[in-house]
Amino acid sequence: MDTPKKPVPIVNPWARPFWDAAKEKRLVIQRCKDCDRYIFYPRIACPNCFSDNMEWVEASGKGTIYSFTVVQNNAPSAFIGEMPYVVAIIKLEEGVQMLSNVVECDPDNLHCDMPVEVTFERLTDDFTLPKFRPVTISSKR
Amino acid sequence: MSKLKGKVAIVGIGEVPTGRFPETAAIYHAIESAKQAIRDAGINKDEIDFCMPTASLFSPQFNTELVTCRVVEELGLKNCKKNCQVFSGGSSSSCGLQMAGSLITSGVAQTVLFVHSDRLGTGVTAQGGIDLFSTAGISAEWEVPFGQHYSSIAALSTTRYKYETGCTDEQLASVCVSNRKWAEINPNAFFRKPLTIEEVMASKMLSTPLRAKMSNMLFDGGSAFVLASAERARDLPNTPVYILGESGVVSHFVFSQEPDVSRFGWAKSAKAAFGEANLTPRDMDVAEIYDSYPVYQMIGFEELGFCERGEAGEIFMRGDTWPGGRIPCTTDGGMLSKGHIGAGGAVSLLVEAARQLMGKAGERQVKDARFAVETATGGTYMDAQVTVLGTEIP
């Protein structure tokens, strides 16, 4: 069976700055200038105060694993070759959550609330995905 | 608080067995279930003036047939004024019931037929099912590119739930065992052989800590109910099953946006629904808690108030939720053992709640059942719908 190509994000136009930044290995999220909340995923209006007055800001790239799983069987077709892979919900320092993969890790040693930092993986010429890796002593610098 | 309390009742129910039926047309599951429900209600078919088919997922072509009045024509419902789909994924049971109830209390409709059917067992391949459920309801921008699918979603809830409560894998497995106990005595269930914790624990790991036998499987099937005013219901043969309380919380579309994947909105929704009914979990004779994966049944059970957080594991382990137990739970075997038929997982549960309250559950009958609660959730556990039903109006 031919393995289908990995799905690329179906991008909403107003989220384009996020994906453009990811290509440059930068993690950007929105911030509402009226209520000061960070916003992810990108919206057309602040989901807290409904303001249109939002800006793009650089995120710290630091966060924790809110929850995770190691996919070992029954993955979607395009991901069968990736198994085992880690799917995790990352809680960024800015307070927003995003789904990603935890990479460069021993899946057996992951735990909830573990500190992680962003890293970037090229998917295609057009897309680079933000992924996360455990924060090690050396990477703390 | 809604205006439905005590004003409308389920008066008839129908259901076809859950399984793999490649020789049968998909429409059969809809029209056989509907036929049974109409006959069970003891009404003339031409009393149905509103047909409400919920969606089928296996084929857009078939779903279009449901939308374009096929059920009405196949059954010859001569006085049907409207055929209109109500669909909210897995919570279609509760949403459909409340929409139908609203139509009746407002006078728009007199007698509503709600029907579900799907063919996920033979209409799609096993990998096709995985692929369908790695895109259906999962964000194509924010989750699909990372390999998210329903097993990983359930696993994410399970990991966090275990972390926060200390729940063990054996306790998770005991939910599967509990549901199987009920399925063993449900002729419409697919998995009817006894199941042990050891067998669950020995099954293939899918997404840690979720194993194959902790996962639902997709099948063909269907079920239906007829809803009428309380006044009309009292003239009909079945014990009327009144809506006593209902509420819901919509929490997310993208699963990873949910701030609490091991709680969701159940507590708030349950408080409102029980409050409207003027009842408490203690008053419930039956708890029809949406399962799909064991963690969600435990979360629902706890958040509704049947026990404290973190205690569900011990309760399921002890057999309190089994046939003859103190709190009979998910008495048709649920999606874990009866089988997952798409939006119909919870329609089955709602039909089972009505069946128990009508006293027609056969070997599974909970003695003198007067009050039941049914829960449902759609998409990636996007909402928390709670409905309290009863044969009396407190």
Alpha helices in chain B (DSSP H): 26-41, 60-67, 70-75, 92-106, 126-132, 150-165, 169-183, 197-202, 230-233, 266-277, 294-303, 312-318, 334-337, 344-358
pLDDT at residue B233, as a whole number: 98
What's the 3-state SS for B289-352?
A: CCCCCHHHHHHHHHHCCCCCCCCHHHHHHHCCCCCCCCCCECCCCHHHHCCECCCHHHHHHHHH
Using a CB–CB cutoff of 8 Å, tell me whether A103 touches chain B. no
Question: What pLDDT score was predicted for residue B134?
Answer: 73
Q: Quote the tokens at residue B389.
A: 């039903």
Q: How many Cβ atoms from other residues are within 10 Å of residue A14's Cβ? A: 12
Q: Are B180 and A109 in contact (CB under 8 A)?
A: no
pLDDT for B124: 84
Q: Can you list the domains of chain B with their CATH numbers?
A: 8-124+219-233 (3.40.47.10)
Give the residues across from B226 on adjacent strands: B12, B113
- Extract the tokens encoding B102: 């609203």
Alpha-carbon gap, residue B8 to B223, rounded angstroms: 19
Q: How many CB pairs under 8 A join A and B?
A: 117
Query: How many of the other CB atoms lie within 10 Å of CB of B388?
Result: 28
If one compares A138 and B324, the residue with the highest pLDDT of the two is B324
Mean pLDDT of chain B: 96
B-chain CB neighbours of A17 within 8 Å are none
Q: Cβ contacts (< 8 Å) between B254 and chain A: which residues?
A: 41, 99
Please report where in the chains the tokens 């935890």 appear, as a residue.
Answer: A102
Phi and psi based region of residue A41 (left: phi greater than 0; alpha: psi -120 to 50; beta: remaining): beta
The mean pLDDT of B233-241, rounded to a whole number, is 98
DSSP three-state, residue B58: coil
**Residue ranges per domain, chain A?**
13-136
What average pLDDT does this structure show over A20-24?
98
Token couple for A98? 């995003």
Cβ-based burial of A103 (10 A; exposed 0-12, middle 13-18, buried ≥19) = middle
Mean pLDDT of B215-238: 97
3-state secondary structure at position A62: strand
Burial annotation B334-371 (CB, 10 A radius, 16+ → b, else e)? bbbbbbbbbbbbbbbbbbbbbbbbbeebeebbbeebbb
Residues 6+ apart with CB under 8 A from A140: none
Sequential DSSP letters for B120-141 = TTTSS-HHHHHHHTTTTTS-TT
Q: What is the mean pLDDT of residues B19-48?
A: 97
- A69/B208 CB distance under 8 A: yes
3-class DSSP assignment, residue B171: helix
pLDDT at A141: 45
Per-residue model confidence as pLDDT tens digits over B35-92 = 999 999 999 999 999 999 999 999 999 999 999 999 999 999 999 999 999 999 999 9
> Can you tell me which residue has the tokens 């696993």?
B155
Bridge partners, B374 (sequence order): B288, B387
- pLDDT exceeds 60 at position B226: yes
Flag if B157 and A67 touch (Cβ within 8 Å). yes
Percentage of chain B beyond pLDDT 90 is 94
User: For the segment B111-167, what is each residue's pLDDT rounded down to a tens digit?
Assistant: 999 999 999 999 888 787 777 777 788 999 999 999 999 999 999 999 999 999 999
Mean pLDDT in residue range B359-373: 98
DSSP-assigned beta bridge partners for residue B390: B242, B371
Q: How many residues does chain A have?
A: 141
Question: pLDDT-based confidence at A4, cuts 50/70/90?
Answer: confident
Q: How far lies B41's CA from each of B11, B45, B77, B227, B368, in Å?
A: 5, 10, 15, 9, 21
Residues of B in contact with A82 (CB under 8 A): 147
Whether chain B has a CB inside 8 Å of the CB on A132: the answer is no
Q: What's the whole-number mean pLDDT along residues B343-370?
A: 96
For residue A118, give both structure tokens: 């962003």
| Residue A140 pLDDT exceeds 80 | no
pTM summary value: 0.96
Task: Decide if B109 contacts B95 (C-beta within 8 A).
Answer: no
Q: What are phi and psi of B231, to 5 degrees?
A: -60, -50
Task: Give, to the nearest 10 degrees, the angle between helix B150-165 and helix B294-303.
Answer: 50
Contact B393, B6 (CB under 8 A): yes
Give the percent of chain A with pLDDT over 90.
Answer: 92
Burial of A36 (0-12, 13-18, 19+ CB in 10 A): exposed
Distance between A9 CA and the closest CA of chain B, angstroms: 4
Residues of chain A in contact with residue B216, where contact means CB-CB under 8 angstroms, are none
Average pLDDT over residues B31-37: 98
Distance from CA of B46 to the nearest CA of A (A): 46
CA-wise closest residue to B318 among B162, B215, B181: B181
Q: Report d(CA B99, CA B87) in Å as an integer.
A: 10
- pLDDT number for residue B289: 98
Distances (CA, A) of B193 to A103, B17, B180, B322: 41, 16, 8, 15
Quote the minimal CA–CA distance from B191 to chain A in Å. Answer: 20
Query: With bands split at pLDDT 50, 70 and 90, how would you rate the model's confidence at B1?
Result: low
pLDDT at B125: 82
- Averaged pLDDT, B248-270: 97
Note the pLDDT of residue B207. 98
- For residue B71, the SS3 value is helix
Both tokens of B347, joined, read 């329609």
Nearest CA in chain A to B157: A67
pLDDT given at position B179: 98
CATH class of A13-136: mainly beta
